[in-house]
């Protein structure tokens, strides 16, 4: 089944309260879930506008076999999306017969409401805010290529590389076909908001990972050296796992756990496309994993990103405009699970460093969980200072909480996030303590802006760096 038909099915399911957009997208088994998710979210956001245009143009009367939800998806794509560039098949031909009338009705609607831009047709609660204006962040997959080659590829496509950003203001000012290297995050390229790279050949070949800026922090701060054994406790959908594998250079072992079989299947596809060979996936509850199992005796690093309210997720704010703090009962249940998972992770005997992260803005899921876990392990673990240059710190709810990191669209140009780096306390004279300390993450040299000589026969995908 094609993209537009699947999107129409998901849209119908959401409107009939059969599930959330995210749940229905992942259960659809569609290969490119991010493209599908974005299309459904935007179609739903413009739903009232599309209904008005379709009705006034008489599209469903003229095309009696066209179902309403499919019509809505197709008209969004024609008028507000990509315009069927490079595809569309029979749907492009069908909508082409009505294109002039549909465009005229959209223009008439703007005149009637006294607006000039499509987004001004939206209700106030649905208009793009800081979330929808976030830059597009793209992590270079160093298992397949390197930043220099990716930069050169985009330059050959007509993009203008501006070097490493010096501040967040540089990222806010991005427009057109300009792009930058993130000021703090290695191998993270930044493009203007709404840049769509889902069909880009480098993304489809696994050379690029579309990943939010804050979502890159957990693996970067865990920083396991090549050859390490790592646990990714709640791994799906897999972007952080792929980042861990890149840091390991595919050397060592990642034990990745998740209870959702469909999400694991999608994750396996993502990891295969990214060229990852050091990961062992398991459909298993992390809380049921025994720390005394001999397979995990060399696990020195754990990434724990447990289920949370998702109150900081940009996609959730687009899916549920005005989504606020979850109910006290749900927060209590989530925080209880998160604390159990964190305390369980701290029982692995060889653990040196753990990163705990959520995409939640709620103190109950963040600082409170970390504080309680440390109090249950007095003297055994400590919060490590992390990334001093990061502008948004943890809430001062207990001593040392400022070592934690927070993120938000307003302060860091990313989704809402929380990260804590926890280290095992060792004797001051121990040489291993220095190895286990949280990295300062000094930015690596930025790819040079000068134009490099193009290699003969450069193809659609960049080769790995040697």
Known binding residues for S-adenosyl-L-methionine are 234-240, 258, 285, 305
Catalytic site residue from 308, 359, 404, 441 = 359
Q: At what angle do helices 239-248 and 261-273 cross, to 10 degrees?
A: 40
Residue 223 has which token pair? 């920083």
Q: What's the rounded Cα separation, in Å, for the pair 285 and 292?
A: 16
What is the DSSP pairing of strand 136-140 with strand 188-191? antiparallel
- CA of 20: how far to CAs of 24, 192, 215, 239, in Å? 6, 28, 22, 21
In contact, 230 and 222? CB cutoff 8 Å = yes
- Identify the CA nearest to 211 among candidates 231, 229, 250, 185: 185
Radius of gyration of the chain (CA): 23
For residue 197, the tally of other CB atoms under 10 A from its CB is: 17
CB-facing half-sphere around the CA of 101: CA atoms within 13 A: 15
What are phi and psi for residue 328, nearest 5 degrees? Answer: -55, -35
- The question of whether 308 is a catalytic residue gets the answer no
DSSP 361-418: --GGGTHHHHHHHHHTSTTTEEEPP--TT-S-B--SSSTTGGGSEEE-HHHHSS--EE
CA separation for the pair 314, 212 (Å, rounded)? 10
Residues 230 and 255: their CA atoms lie apart, in Å, by 6
Residues 245, 187: Cα–Cα separation, whole Å? 14
Binding residues: 234-240, 258, 285, 305
Cα 437 to chain center, whole Å? 27
State the residue for tokens 């569609």: 30
Catalytic residues: 359
């Amino acid at each position: 089944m094609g993209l537009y038909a699947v999107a129409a099915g998901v849209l119908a399911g959401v409107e009939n309260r059969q599930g959330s957009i995210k749940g229905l997208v992942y259960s659809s088994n569609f290969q490119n879930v991010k493209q599908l998710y974005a299309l459904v979210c935007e179609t739903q956001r413009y739903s009232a506008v599309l209904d008005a245009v379709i009705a006034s143009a008489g599209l469903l009367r003229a095309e009696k076999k066209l179902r309403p939800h499919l019509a809505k998806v197709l008209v969004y794509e024609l008028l507000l999306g990509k315009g069927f560039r490079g595809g569309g098949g029979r749907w492009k031909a069908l909508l082409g017969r009505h294109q002039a009338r549909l465009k005229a009705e959209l223009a008439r609607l703007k005149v009637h409401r006294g607006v000039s831009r499509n987004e001004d047709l939206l209700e106030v609660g649905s208009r793009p805010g800081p979330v929808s204006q976030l830059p597009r962040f793209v992590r270079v997959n160093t298992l397949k290529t390197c930043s220099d080659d990716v930069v050169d590829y985009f330059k050959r496509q007509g993009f203008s590389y501006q070097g490493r950003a010096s501040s967040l203001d540089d990222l806010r000012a991005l427009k057109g076909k300009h792009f930058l290297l993130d000021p703090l995050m290695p191998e993270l390229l930044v493009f203007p908001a709404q840049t769509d790279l889902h069909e880009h050949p480098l993304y489809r070949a696994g050379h690029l990972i579309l990943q939010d800026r804050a979502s890159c922090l957990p693996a970067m701060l865990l920083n396991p050296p090549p050859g390490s054994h790592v646990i990714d406790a709640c791994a799906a959908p897999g972007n952080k796992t792929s980042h861990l594998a890149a840091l390991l250079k595919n050397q060592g072992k990642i034990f990745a756990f998740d209870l959702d079989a469909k999400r694991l299947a999608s994750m396996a596809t993502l990891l295969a496309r990214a060229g990852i060979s050091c990961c062992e996936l398991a459909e298993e509850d992390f809380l049921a994993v025994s720390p005394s199992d001999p397979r995990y005796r060399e696990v020195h690093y754990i990434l724990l990103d447990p289920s949370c309210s998702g109150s900081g997720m940009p996609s959730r704010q687009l899916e549920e405009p005005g989504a606020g703090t979850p109910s006290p009962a749900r927060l209590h249940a989530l925080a209880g699970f998160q604390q159990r998972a964190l305390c369980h992770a701290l029982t692995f005997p060889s653990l040196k460093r753990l990163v705990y992260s959520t995409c939640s803005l709620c103190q109950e899921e963040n600082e409170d969980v970390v504080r309680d876990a440390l109090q249950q392990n007095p003297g055994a673990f400590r919060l490590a200072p992390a990334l001093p240059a990061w502008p948004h710190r943890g809430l001062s709810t207990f001593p040392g909480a400022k070592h934690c990191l927070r993120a938000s669209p307003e302060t860091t140009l990313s989704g809402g996030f929380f990260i804590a780096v926890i280290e095992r306390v060792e004797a001051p004279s121990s040489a291993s303590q220095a190895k286990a300390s949280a990295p300062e993450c000094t930015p690596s040299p930025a790819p040079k802006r000068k134009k490099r000589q193009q290699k003969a026969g450069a193809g659609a995908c960049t080769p790995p760096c040697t």
